[in-house]
């Protein structure tokens, strides 16, 4: 499976840290990030120290802007995974990539950072609220148009809904063939070998930046008593179900007393039954099962509060 997840219930400042990773082109990038993204996040958080504060308060003291921390963490993680794969993955695994959607959840605050096409959704009194922007390049939505313009501005192009006619997501970790002069040179060479374009086309390209980046979109939202759960899933789920249907099904099963792990599993099984052809990763954080009174300066979220598949 190229999809994996990481959940840290006892994260810094009373937060739960949850991420769904969706790898492509191999396992290396997803596995490295699953093992290292939270470590990098902690390093960036510590390095920024007591700077600009994020909204909300839970008695944990001030903390740096989490939007800035997550943005810098994702960029640092991308540099790390590219260096690690270059040194340790001499085969095709060294060109693998990975998307990621991270949620920081606290009683009063939810922060979401996304790179790629996974999605985070909040259930607020039965209504689905999308928390992330998917980075794809097919369609004509304002977000898609902006991504295409960004790619073209650095010398890239979009063909048949794919970056440079190859990659289905426009932002990702890894994917060294879409970053740096050496990687982009390799991309053009491989395109000739696989007859995607000819030598004249390759010679005409002038890249001034990376068509694919790991710059996340980050959103912050205050939580209230009407917020019931947060669900993060890879595109294998969203390809066959929309956000409101997923929220409706998950809410029904949680209200019937099913555990988040079981609910997450049922959603993956339903997606497969409906014909999803992709790997599926799901993390469900049941806000109603968190004993927030246990959250303190060091953090501490207890109970059966999340499920992942």
If DSSP states are collapsed to H, E and C, what string results for the chain? Answer: CCEEEEEECCCHHHCEEEEEEEEECCCHHHHHHHHHHHHHHHHHHHHHCCCCCCCCCCCCCCCCCHHHHHHHHHHHHHHHHHHHHHHHCCCHHHHCEEEEEEEEECCCEEEEEEECCCEEEEEECCEEEECCCCCCCCCCCHHHHHHHHHHHHCCCCEECCEECCCECCCECEECHHHCHHHHHHHHHHHHHHCCCCCHHHHHHCCCCCCCCECCCEEEEEECCCCEEEEEEECHHHHCCCCHHHHHHHHHHHHHCCCCHHHHHHHHHHHHHHCCCCCCCCEEEEEHHHCCHHHCCCCCCCCCCCEEEC
Per-residue pLDDT of the chain (309 residues; tens, 9 = 90+): 478 999 999 898 999 999 999 999 999 999 999 999 999 999 999 998 744 444 444 434 567 899 999 999 999 999 999 999 999 998 888 999 999 999 999 999 999 999 999 999 999 999 999 999 999 999 999 999 999 999 999 999 999 999 999 999 999 999 999 999 999 999 999 999 999 999 999 999 999 999 999 999 999 999 999 999 999 999 999 999 999 999 999 999 999 999 999 999 999 999 999 999 888 999 999 998 655 444 433 333 322 344 444
2-32 core/surface letters (b: 16 or more CB in 10 A; e: else): bbbbbbbbebbbbbbbbbbbbbbbbbbbbbb
Q: Which pLDDT belongs to residue 153?
A: 98
**Residue in the block written with tokens 């979009």:** 158
Tell me the pLDDT tens digit for each residue of 227-253: 999 999 999 999 999 999 999 999 999
- Backbone φ, ψ for residue 109 (5° rounding): -150, 140
- Give 106's strand partners: none
In this structure, how many other beta carbons lie within 10 angstroms of the beta carbon of residue 67? 17
What is the C-alpha separation between 123 and 130, in angstroms, rounded?
A: 9
Q: Which pLDDT belongs to residue 39?
A: 98
Contact criterion met (CB below 8 Å) for 82 and 176: yes
Q: Which pLDDT belongs to residue 290?
A: 54
Q: Which pLDDT belongs to residue 299?
A: 32
Q: What is the CA radius of gyration of the chain?
A: 20
CATH of domain 3-133+216-308: 3.60.40.10
What are the tokens at 113?
């950072």
Q: Which pLDDT belongs to residue 307?
A: 46
Contact criterion met (CB below 8 Å) for 117 and 136: yes
What is the C-alpha separation between 170 and 88, in angstroms, rounded?
A: 25
Contact criterion met (CB below 8 Å) for 306 and 282: no
Contact criterion met (CB below 8 Å) for 21 and 99: yes
Q: Which pLDDT belongs to residue 298?
A: 32
Q: Which pLDDT belongs to residue 5?
A: 93
What is the C-alpha separation between 152 and 101, in angstroms, rounded?
A: 25
Contact criterion met (CB below 8 Å) for 173 and 118: no
Q: Which pLDDT belongs to residue 143?
A: 92
Domain chopping of the chain, boundaries: 3-133+216-308, 142-170+176-204
- Report in angstroms the alpha-carbon separations of 276 from 173, 201, 234: 23, 36, 11
Tell me the pLDDT tens digit for each residue of 127-149: 999 999 999 999 999 999 999 99
**Residue in the block written with tokens 């303190």:** 296
In this structure, how many other beta carbons lie within 10 angstroms of the beta carbon of residue 147? 22
What is the C-alpha separation between 236 and 79, in angstroms, rounded?
A: 27
């Amino acid at each position: 499976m190229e999809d994996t997840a990481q959940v840290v219930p006892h994260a810094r400042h009373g937060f739960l840290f949850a991420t769904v990773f969706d790898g492509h082109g191999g396992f290396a990038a997803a596995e490295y990030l699953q093992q290292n993204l939270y470590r990098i996040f902690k390093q960036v958080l510590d390095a920024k120290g007591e700077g600009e504060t994020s909204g909300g308060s839970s008695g944990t003291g001030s903390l740096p802007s989490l939007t800035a921390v997550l943005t810098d963490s994702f960029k640092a993680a991308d540099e790390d995974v590219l260096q690690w794969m270059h040194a340790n993955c001499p085969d095709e695994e060294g060109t693998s990539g990975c998307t990621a959607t991270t949620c920081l959840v606290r009683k009063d605050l939810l922060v979401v950072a996304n790179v790629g096409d996974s999605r985070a959704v909040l259930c607020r009194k039965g209504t689905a609220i999308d928390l992330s922007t998917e980075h794809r390049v097919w369609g004509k939505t304002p977000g898609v148009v902006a991504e295409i313009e960004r790619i073209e501005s650095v010398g890239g192009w979009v063909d048949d809904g794919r970056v440079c006619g190859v990659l289905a997501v426009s932002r990702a970790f890894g994917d060294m063939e879409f970053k740096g002069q050496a990687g982009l040179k390799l991309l053009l060479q491989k395109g000739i070998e696989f007859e995607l374009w000819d030598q004249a086309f390759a010679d005409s390209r002038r890249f001034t930046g990376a068509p694919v980046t790991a710059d996340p979109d980050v959103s912050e939202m205050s939580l209230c008593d009407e917020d019931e759960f947060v669900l993060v899933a890879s595109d294998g789920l969203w390809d066959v179900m929309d956000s409101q249907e997923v929220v409706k099904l998950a809410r029904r099963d949680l209200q019937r007393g099913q555990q988040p792990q079981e609910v997450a599993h049922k959603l993956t099984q339903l997606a497969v039954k409906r014909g999803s052809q992709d790997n599926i990763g799901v993390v469900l954080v049941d806000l109603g099962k968190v004993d927030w009174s246990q959250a303190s300066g060091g953090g501490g979220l207890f109970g059966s509060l999340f499920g992942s598949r």
